[in-house]
Amino acid sequence: MKQVLIINGHPDKESFNNALSEAYIKGASNTETTLTQINIAELEFNSNLKFGYRKRMELEPDLVNAIDKIKKADHIVWVFPMWWYGYPALMKGFIDRTFLPGITYQPIEGKPLPEKLLKGKSARLIITADTPKWYDYLIMKSPAINQFKKGTLQFCGINPVKVTYISPIKSSSPDFRKKWLDKVFNLGKNLK
C-alpha cells in the first residue's frame, strides 16, 4: 500500500492552500493508499536553526513526528504559496529543522555531494502565486521551484518532483478556484 503525505506550508489555516490540501486528500481518500497530513502552522517548534550545522538542536516532538512521516512516505505533496519568489518563513524553518544531515542526506567525507537518504520517493509541488507563470519562468527563472525542487528535494534523493503552478490567486474568481480544486482533487484521485 502506497503511503502519501500531504504537507501544507501556508501559515493561515483559512487559506486557499488549505482548500487545495483538502481537495487532494478527498481525491486520494478512495484509493489504495495510506494518507497522512502535516499542517506546518499547527506544529510547535522553533523555526530558527540557531546553530546552523555546527551543533544539532534538540528536535521538538512535532518535528520528530514530521520526520517519521516524511521517511515513511512514498509520495509527498507540498502545498504552499510563493511569496517574494520563495516560500513562507514558517515552511523554510520547517525544512531547515527537518531536512538535516543524517536524516534526509548524509555528507560523505571528501565528496562534494552527499548520500541521498530519501531515494525512492516522489513529490508534487502545488504552488499558488500572483505572479503569472510566464513571468516566473522567463524573467525570474523560477527561483522558488528551483530552490525547493532541485536544491532540497532532489538533493536529498526525491525524484521525480512534479509541479502544479496556480496563478493568479489574489484576484481569482470562484470559478477559477473551483476549476483548480477539481484539478487537485483529480491529482489526488490519480495519486500524482
Domains and their CATH numbers in the chain: 2-190 (3.40.50.360)
pLDDT per residue, tens digit, the chain (192 aa), is: 699 999 999 999 899 999 999 999 999 998 989 999 999 999 999 999 999 888 989 999 999 999 999 999 999 999 999 999 999 999 999 999 999 999 999 999 999 999 999 999 999 999 999 999 998 899 999 999 999 999 999 999 999 999 999 999 999 999 999 999 999 999 999 988
Of 12, 20, 4, 34, which is closest to residue 184 (Cα–Cα)? 20
Give the CA angle between residues 129, 7, 45 to the nearest 5°.
105
b (16+ CB within 10 A) / e for 110-126 = eeeebebebeebbbbbb
142: left (phi over 0), alpha (psi -120 to 50) or beta: left
Residues 11 and 169: their CA atoms lie apart, in Å, by: 16
